[in-house]
């Protein structure tokens, strides 16, 4: 199977590092012109400089702050005044860790703005062009915790669950326009985010971070953390013509971590 995304344009959120960065790299390697966005302008510039242009792609970046929803809306609306995209990857940094008893109403509101409202608004803007051209691929980066909640990620558990149910509803509404909508459920990947979470957990338990990692891997049948490049491969497939009959799904990429069906 040879996936070509030549002449396709993609917008990828949270792409200055980790999974988002790997997705941008793989989409570009498959021929797409990508717009990457995140908070760190230096990292975005570095990424753009390294992306391939063998297929005449024109890559660009958009500096956004997902934690500032009003500012984010302004930046995204301005982008779509002069741009359309064929592929949208909704991905942001995660909210703060902590259990349900640790979080207050304001914490949930902030997480809602960060994870849900940004995805909704960006998708609304992208859909205008997708519906007009009767083609589109929307991929929402979510988490395995929407199926099996993690006790230390109350905010992520709650709001990402809203994202995937909205995604399922949207898929039913836009299928007639040849637009697919899918969610990927992220397991344990070797990213800075996972390292940060594990470091905080190790500190709270008073154990080495290696002990936390060992415990995590004991629940993963393949016995290792995922590589972000592998994530990029899945998203690239979902963005391709080969996935035109796949929509409204939640696809785990977790090395077998989920025990539920």
pLDDT at 152 over 90: no
Q: Which residues pair with 36 in a beta bridge?
A: 12, 61
Least confident piece of the model among 6-10, 65-69, 102-106, 200-204: 200-204
- List the domain range (segments joined by +) for residue 168: 9-188+227-253
CATH code, domain with 132: 3.40.50.720
Output the CA–CA distances (angstroms, integers) from residue 259 to 148, 198, 252, 256, in the order listed: 8, 22, 11, 7
pTM of the model: 0.95
- Helices 118-133 and 69-82: crossing angle in degrees, nearest 10, is 10
Residue with tokens 């290696």: 210
Is the per-residue pLDDT at 96 higher than 90?
A: no
How large is the average pLDDT for residues 171-188? Answer: 98
What is the mean predicted confidence (pLDDT) over 30-52?
Answer: 96
pLDDT band at 146 (very low <50, low <70, confident <90, very high): very high
Residue 226's DSSP bridge partners are 189
Please check the confidence at residue 203 and state whether its pLDDT lies above 90: no
**Residue 133: inside a domain, yes or no?**
yes
Write out the two tokens for 220: 């993963």
pLDDT for residue 111: 96
Mean pLDDT of all residues belonging to the chain: 95
Domains identified in the chain, total number: 1
* Predicted local confidence at residue 10, as pLDDT: 98
Q: 4 lies in a domain? A: no
* pLDDT surpassing 90 at residue 198: no
* Within a domain: 208: no
């Amino acid at each position: 199977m040879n996936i070509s995304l030549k002449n396709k344009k993609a917008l990828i959120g949270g792409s200055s590092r980790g999974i988002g960065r790997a997705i941008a790299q793989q989409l570009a390697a498959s021929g797409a012109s990508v717009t990457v966005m995140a908070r760190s302008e230096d990292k975005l510039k570095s990424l753009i400089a390294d992306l391939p242009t063998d297929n005449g792609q024109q890559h660009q970046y958009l500096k956004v702050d997902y934690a500032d929803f009003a500012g984010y809306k302004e930046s995204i609306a301005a982008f779509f005044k002069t741009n359309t995209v064929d592929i949208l990857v909704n991905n942001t940094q995660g909210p703060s860790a902590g259990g349900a008893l640790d979080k207050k109403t304001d914490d949930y509101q902030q997480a809602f703005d960060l994870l849900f409202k940004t995805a909704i608004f960006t998708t609304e803007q992208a859909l205008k062009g997708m519906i007009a051209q009767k083609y589109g691929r929307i991929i929402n980066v979510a988490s395995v915790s929407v199926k099996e909640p993690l006790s230390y990620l109350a905010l992520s558990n709650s709001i990402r669950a809203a994202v995937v149910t909205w995604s399922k509803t949207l898929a039913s509404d836009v299928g007639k326009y040849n637009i697919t909508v899918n969610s990927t459920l992220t397991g344990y990947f070797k990213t800075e985010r996972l390292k940060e979470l594990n470091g905080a957990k190790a500190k709270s338990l008073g154990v080495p971070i290696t002990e936390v990692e060992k415990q995590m891997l004991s629940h993963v049948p393949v016995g290792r953390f995922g590589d972000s490049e592998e994530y990029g491969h899945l998203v690239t497939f979902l963005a391709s013509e080969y996935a035109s009959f796949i929509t409204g799904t939640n696809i785990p990429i977790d090395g077998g971590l989920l025990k539920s069906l």
